[in-house]
A and B are shown apart, each in its own frame.
Chain A
């Protein structure tokens, strides 16, 4: 299955499931929920605790990401 991602072009669900160091993209549910049973796939691949952690943090804006990286440099 493929989807058009406005940030990256055509991508497969396997990429969306693992792009964050093995964990899914924060947008995965919004993008895939009406195409497949994405919740079931997520629950099969990740534990409840992992899912809570993955989606607990707000999708950060580009600016907060930049500030975070500057701080680390």
Chain B
């Protein structure tokens, strides 16, 4: 019988997180205070984050110990199983061997609790009693609710009202773990009251929810704010995924040729990829792919440049993937094209050629998710479908080339709470959206004069 699951015993759970900042060939440009154009000071962040997490944010130590109390909680679902996707391989008739790291087995159903548990712990030991956060679709809110419950912290989640109404099960999940989940805008903050006064049925937005959560953290006693993506310490906590995967692959004498993860804020992609990127920096041959939606092709289409934040050229120059502040002739194109929000670590790795990026359309990703569900059984989260679409493409390529590639993907979460999206796809209500190459080419030409970060 072939081995389907590659597991690690509890006592082999990694005991340190890996901090890639120690190994980067080029350091990440620091975030700048928009008011002064100088690097953000730890003091500024201390209004919303505990100092022990800020220290991790700025650390360049290669290995950071995982406290025993955090390990104890992580053992509830970690080490997560690594699966060989035999049925998917068979359906694709590929010589490739496809492995997926199942992060959907966590209590909240995604990779998010890896950092939620760590953040709750570090807040707790810093003396914080209560955490406020925002959530859009509800994954981060669920993960933090679970983590706060584990460490006896109160948790308040401001959930964008349009999602709150659409996803009652997410709210119920948070409340089951003892958190307070309110639709945002809420009557509980000045920011929320302002929007409710204008429109009592305001559907909310992520911007409003962030404002409410931060106002809550800054104005409430013993309260801090927590973020589930983008920041360095979040990515650090997620590296346990890749560290486990390295041990699991080694235990069956495999090493991946290709690593794949979907990239939104960049934390699940980085969690799997960074330990392997370290190998790559040290000479190992491995292809690492971050996958993003074609409707928002920041990494795949935008060059890494210093660019102004606005068309009036009044903001500081920022090192970022951008499609340019002066996109002409139609300025209204710019917003949709120039959106960015990728973790600085991921952007830097792309620039340095350590990773590459690919984009897939909405329909391609849902088709991949359905193929996965109908072969491997597990229903993936819509975000995870991006990684699966890429893995399927690479497996088909391996077939064309007649090569036995080893593909490893991060199966970042299950889609049981996202069945409405599958229903929309299966009933033909979702359609494709992607950027036109001609527009992008014109744009890149316009951008060639911009300075490049070193």
Contacts and interface: CB of A to CB of B under 8 A. Distances in A.
Contacts of A55: 331-336
A29 B332 contact: yes
Given A39-B330, A66-B210, A31 B433 contact: yes
B332 A8 contact: no
A63 B333 CA distance: 24
B136 A7 contact: yes
Interface string B423-437: 011000111111100
Interface in B152-190: 160, 162-163, 166-167
Interface in B14-43: 31, 33-35, 40
Contact of A8 (B163, B308, B337): B163
B433 A3 contact: yes
Nearest to A32: B433
A52 B335 CA distance: 10
B107 interface: no
A45 B111 CA distance: 40
Contact of A65 (B40, B195, B207, B433): B207
Contacts of B332: 29, 39, 42-43, 51-52, 54-55
Interface stretch (B58-66, B248-256, B338-346, B396-404): B338-346
B293 interface: yes
A66 B209 CA distance: 11
Nearest to B32: A64
Interface string A32-67: 111100010011000000011011111111111111
B7 interface: no
Contacts, number: 168
A69 B211 contact: yes
B294 to A, nearest CB: 9
A58 B333 contact: no
Nearest to B327: A55
A28 B366 CA distance: 20
A65 B210 CA distance: 8
A66 B54 CA distance: 15
Contact of B219 (A2, A58, A65, A73): A73
Contacts of B297: 30
B35 A7 contact: no
A58 B309 CA distance: 5
Contact of B214 (A8, A35, A70): A70
Contact of B325 (A29, A43, A58, A63): A58
A40 to B, nearest CB: 11
Nearest to B339: A59
A57 B210 CA distance: 19
Contacts of B270: none
B421 A10 contact: yes
B313 to A, nearest CB: 11
17 contacts: A8-B162, A9-B163, A27-B339, A30-B336, A30-B337, A34-B433, A39-B330, A39-B332, A52-B332, A55-B332, A58-B307, A58-B309, A58-B310, A59-B340, A63-B231, A70-B48, A71-B35
